[in-house]
Amino acid sequence: MDLQKIIKKYSENLDFLELNLRSSRNEAISLNDGLTNTSSSFGNGHSVRALFKGAWGFSASNNESVEKTIMKAVENAKFLSKTNKFKIKKFELNPIKGDEKSLCRKNPFDIDKKEKIKNLMVIEKEIKKDDKIKSASLAYSFSNINSHLVNSFGSDVSFERTYSYAKCVVFAKQGEKVEIGYESLGKKQGYEFIDSLDFSMYQNAVNKAKKLLSSKPAPAGKFKVIMDSIMAGTFFHEAIGHACEADAVLQNNSVFKNRIGKKIGAEYVNVYDSPIEEKESTGNYEYDDEGIKSGKLCLIKNGVLENYMHSVETATRMGVEPTGNGRKENITGNPIPRMSITVVNSGTWKTDELIKDTKEGIFLKGCSNGCTDTLKGDFTFEASEGIIIRNGELTDETIKGACLMGNTKTILNEIDACTDKQIMDWSASRCGKAGAYVPVQSKCPSIRLLKCLIGGVQ
């Protein structure tokens, strides 16, 4: 099928025409206290976006011809051009040619399910040797995406990506107390990723749950706080990243609206969205879902807001270039600005020196959940665990339920130190927005906040 020939045939009198052929395959295998479950799916289809007199038309199908789907998208665009008051300005894109190859060396779909289940059973047996672990849930999941995109500006971009994930949830019990330990890892690799795993990820989950059994409730009040690299990654993704997505800005739903070029944080704050970081990261990609070449985008430089993340549409509306952040989950969705790998620059402090300098405070590790109001800037993040810092040393006093609370308008000015090493968080993270989920990860140092509100027990 000559896709460019088809595009040329139907793009006359249109502002823009895009065709995306896409196939996907997914498999999930879980073991819950000896009970196994497997699921698999396969999807194959195409989607079309047409722009006519400033109005978008969209159509997707898995059972109709490409040309019929194009005609439906064009029909939708022409209809909406008569009714929509808001119009997208005409834009131009440089033609991009590219083919992103899969990193997969061992196809996970070629591995027998029995072997995968056997692996999980061996792990479960080892976990339950600990008499405090009363329940365990283990899982592998795999996905493969093949995409071919062409548009009326001459772009022709293909990619294939394979993702592999491992997850573990354990329940520890002591007397009447029950606590949960969770760990996950994911990479843009094939089954070789699963082969590379040792027991340490599962042991970490066990250790977390057991440690929480003896942890005290977190104190409430304002403290000096050190966030480890995982907590920092979640914080900057949720509290900062989402407010830097251009669609939120255009919808008047961002605390950073009209703040480009203005100081929003301390000089230590340097934040990037970088889908070119760590080629095996699940957030890594060479081209976004609009065929735009990716790159390292500076969001905040020395505390000054530099850029928003853009899709083609938001870039057109704001008169800037697309940033390669137009992402979608599948053929039924339209690309919107999304994050990829959240990167925070390192500083000069050694971790032990930073703890020693802190004197009194709380060290927060990991993040179990959180939420952010991108318009007001209010946020709450619960750490997976916390450790009291006293006299410049980590004590053996562990705490649970510590919630980092505040507002992005002020919290970035409380950052006064970053450690000298960025640590990649390989957690199996997927970010949800507008009903669509895309893989994301982060690469950050540990970061100190001079004063921050911790929600806990007074």
CB 322 within 8 A of CB 414: no
- Give the pLDDT band (50/70/90) at residue 458: low
CB 353 within 8 A of CB 389: no
What is the residue whose two structure tokens read 């990609």?
285
CB 240 within 8 A of CB 379: no
The pLDDT > 90 percentage for the chain reads: 97
> Does the pTM exceed 0.75?
yes
Map residue 207 onto helix, strand or coil.
helix
Q: Show the tokens assigned to 455.
A: 């929600």
- The 10 Å CB-count burial string (b at 16+, else e) for 220-237 is beebbbbbbbbbbbbbbb
Q: Residue 166's closest CA among 145, 194, 143, 192? A: 194
pLDDT digits (tens, 9 = 90+) for 430-441: 999 999 999 999
The confidence score (pLDDT) of residue 200 equals 97
**Cα–Cα dist 234/16, whole Å:** 37
DSSP bridge pairs for 156: 97, 150
Q: Is the pLDDT of residue 368 over 60?
A: yes
**Cα–Cα dist 214/233, whole Å:** 27
The CATH number of 3-214, from 3.40.50.10800, 3.30.360.10, 3.30.2290.10, 3.40.470.10, is 3.30.2290.10
**Cα–Cα dist 187/439, whole Å:** 10
Per-domain boundaries in the chain: 3-214, 217-455
pLDDT digits (tens, 9 = 90+) for 231-246: 999 999 999 999 999 9
pLDDT digits (tens, 9 = 90+) for 28-43: 999 999 999 999 999 9
